[in-house]
């Protein structure tokens, strides 16, 4: 009995000591010698601008969170590589030269960026991989659960088909081959689709480009025949837009489109879901990912290791490093039936953003008001 009591006291003590340590970092600002604790700069490198999520959600959320965690003293430095490896390399070099305190890196090419990650580390700058698992000596990885994204997409296809069977021919249009997430999305989808349907054609899409996805779809329609395609796995929304254009060009009317998946809950995709052109998207609650990344970056810079560890409790391996501390955030399917409970409830879009004049009637039909 006594032993237990001592153990409890001991653990309470270590907890409160830990608490002191955490507070210590920000209390430093009241010291005679001012510390740089809140006066920090976090570099934010995003991969591309074709998809709207990075500029519309990820970056603004990170920026606001860094400010709120640092009494409005912390800054962010933003750069978007527009899908170019060379551009991202030089943007990262610039941040290293400027001696930012930490870099949040969403890589264009997770393999080719590894030497820059190493350079940053050598310059004493921690690197947290954001959304895509960069290779090299990163300090942590903050992302959504990418395999789950693919599973949610794959499951939506089998649900849409009702009684899916191997006679159902599916076209699979995957994301960029240099983005490790694309492989995980594909793996997740295959977990659901393998053995249940026939994958009649499969493509990877350089740079996630919608026009390339459209060209793939045109090819698939020629190969399989427009009325033989039971569903299309599209890895994200921007590509789904291109895929629908290919069907339209082949003379398929909107009401005859097969179920088409997506990802990112872009406004145009949510509108296509309302009108029935696109079957679903994966809603990734951006605040969950972006705020966790900001918190991890600030904790790292301020030396609050315990908090950093608590924020990154999952473990993940990259092709170059093992047991990387990670945080993987969960995702949900967005279909016609849960628009209000997802993007509207989270304040991503207002009903009036979605239900513009062209979509008013369709919104009424599904009771979105
Ligand atoms: C992925 C990301 C997706 C999507 C895609 C295209 O890495 O997880 O949300 O944005 O890139 O850029």
For residues 47-65, give the mean pLDDT.
95
Is the shortest distance between the CB of 51 and ligand 1 below 6 Å?
yes
Q: At what angle do helices 210-224 and 237-249 cross, to 10 degrees?
A: 40
Which class for 6: exposed (0-12), middle (13-18), buried (19 or more C-beta within 10 A)?
exposed
Is the shortest distance between the CB of 208 and ligand 1 below 6 Å?
yes
3-state SS class at 53? helix
What is the model's pLDDT at position 165? 85
Give me 256's structure tokens.
């005859």
DSSP tally for the chain: helices H, then strands E = 14, 12
pLDDT in tens, 186-218: 999 999 999 999 999 999 999 999 999 999 999
pLDDT in tens, 110-132: 999 999 999 999 999 999 999 99
What is the model's pLDDT at position 9? 36
Ligand 1, atom nearest to 179 Cα: 7
Is the shortest distance between the CB of 264 and ligand 1 below 6 Å?
yes
31 or 171: which leads in pLDDT: 171
pLDDT at residue 24 tops 50: no
> Are 109 and 85 in contact, with CB atoms under 8 Å apart?
yes
Ligand 1, atom nearest to 149 Cα: 8
What is the model's pLDDT at position 6? 35
% pLDDT > 70, the chain: 90
Alpha-carbon gap, residue 266 to 285, rounded angstroms: 12
Q: How far is the CA of 10 from the centre of ligand 1 (A)?
A: 46
Position 11 confidence tier, pLDDT thresholds 50, 70, 90 = very low
Alpha-carbon gap, residue 122 to 185, rounded angstroms: 33
What is the model's pLDDT at position 292? 98
Q: Closest Cα to atom 1, ligand 1: which residue?
A: 181
């Amino acid at each position: 009995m006594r032993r237990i009591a001592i153990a409890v006291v001991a653990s309470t003590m270590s907890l409160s000591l830990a608490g002191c340590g955490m507070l210590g970092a920000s209390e430093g600002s009241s010291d005679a010698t001012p510390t740089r604790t809140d006066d920090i700069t976090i570099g934010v490198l995003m991969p591309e601008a074709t998809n709207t999520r990075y500029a519309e959600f990820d970056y603004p959320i990170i920026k606001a969170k860094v400010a709120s965690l640092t009494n409005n003293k912390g800054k962010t430095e933003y750069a978007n590589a527009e899908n170019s490896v060379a551009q991202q390399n030089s943007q990262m070099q610039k941040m290293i030269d400027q001696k930012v305190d930490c870099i949040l890196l969403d890589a264009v090419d997770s393999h080719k960026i590894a030497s820059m990650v190493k350079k940053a580390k050598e310059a004493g700058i921690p690197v947290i991989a954001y959304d895509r698992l960069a290779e090299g000596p990163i300090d942590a990885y903050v992302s959504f659960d990418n395999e789950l994204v693919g599973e949610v997409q794959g499951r939506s296809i089998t649900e849409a088909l009702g009684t899916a069977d191997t006679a159902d021919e599916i076209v699979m249009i995957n994301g960029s081959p240099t983005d490790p997430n694309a492989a995980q999305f594909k793996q997740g989808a295959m977990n659901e689709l393998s053995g249940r349907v026939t994958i009649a054609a499969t493509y990877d899409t350089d740079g996630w480009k919608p026009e390339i996805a459209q060209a793939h779809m045109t090819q698939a329609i020629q190969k399989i025949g427009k009325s033989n395609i039971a569903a299309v796995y599209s890895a994200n929304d921007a590509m789904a837009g291109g895929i629908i254009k290919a069907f339209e060009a082949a003379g398929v009317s909107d009401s005859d489109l097969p179920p088409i998946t997506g990802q990112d809950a872009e406004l145009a995709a949510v509108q296509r879901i309302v009108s029935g052109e696109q079957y679903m998207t994966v809603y990734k609650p951006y605040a969950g990912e972006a705020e966790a990344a900001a918190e991890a970056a600030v904790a790292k810079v301020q030396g609050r290791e315990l908090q950093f560890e608590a924020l990154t409790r999952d473990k993940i391996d990259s092709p170059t490093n093992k047991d990387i501390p990670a945080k993987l955030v969960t995702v949900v399917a967005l279909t016609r039936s849960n628009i209000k409970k997802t993007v509207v409830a989270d304040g991503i879009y207002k009903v009036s953003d979605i239900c513009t004049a062209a979509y008013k009637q369709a919104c009424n039909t599904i009771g979105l008001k």
